[in-house]
Amino acid sequence: MGGDMTTPAVLPHVDAVEAALGDAGLTVYVGGAPTSSGWSPPGQFVVLYPDPGTASRTSLAGERTDFSHMVQVTCVGATVERVLWVADKVRRALDKPLVVAGRTAWQPEDQGGPPVQRDDDVTPPLFYVPVQYLIQSIPS
């Protein structure tokens, strides 16, 4: 069973989040920051950690066409103030419906996150705060 064009896929939704944040001028990584020895972190950036999502039926007989998934947007900065600035910039960037080809997407729903934390495993130390966003769409 191959499905059709109404069967939702997670990658276009992740791409839409990445594009919205990139359009806001943020440096975005997916699945983790680079770890190469020559990499030096920018003053601030975000890392997306998406889940695979859930495709659900709109009726008992229908195909799985509705889609929802969570994306953790981990905001990173050199200071507490900088990481909160990044979180505010993310919130503004995701304050409108996403653009996903063939889908009508809702405005991402801010689910919040824990307090800012300090990462002493890197030199110099960085601060980070993960914020969860619920992403939902239906076929256009």
List pLDDT tens digits, range 26-45: 999 999 988 776 677 777 99
Give the list of residues 6+ apart from residue 120 with CB closer than 8 angstroms, or none: none
Task: Tell me, yes or no, whether 95 lies in a domain.
Answer: yes
- The closest of 49, 114, 46, 108 to 83, measured between CA atoms, is 46
Output the pTM of the full model.
Answer: 0.89
Quote the crossing angle between the two packed helices 80-93 and 10-23, to the nearest 10°.
Answer: 120
CB atoms within 10 A of CB 63: 15
Residue 24 located in a structural domain: yes
pLDDT > 90? residue 119: yes
Residue 117: inside a domain, yes or no? yes
pLDDT tens for 91-115 read: 999 999 999 999 999 999 999 999 9
Residue 56's pLDDT band, with cuts at 50, 70 and 90, is confident
Q: Is residue 100 part of a domain?
A: yes
Asked, for residue 113, whether it belongs to a domain, the answer is yes
Q: How far apart are CA 131 and CA 112, in angstroms?
A: 5
The token duo for 111 is: 């689910």
Domain assignment present for residue 4? The answer is: no
Question: CATH number for the domain including 105?
Answer: 3.30.2000.10
* Domains identified in the chain, total number: 1
Does a structural domain hold residue 2? no
CA neighbours closer than 13 Å in the CB half-sphere of residue 91: 13
Confidence band of 60 (pLDDT split at 50, 70, 90): low
Torsion of CA 134, 135, 136, 140, to 10 degrees: 160
Structural domain span for residue 106: 10-139
Closest CA to 48 of 94, 102, 2: 94
Q: What is the mean pLDDT of the chain?
A: 90
Q: Is 5 a member of any domain?
A: no
pLDDT of 5 strictly over 70: no
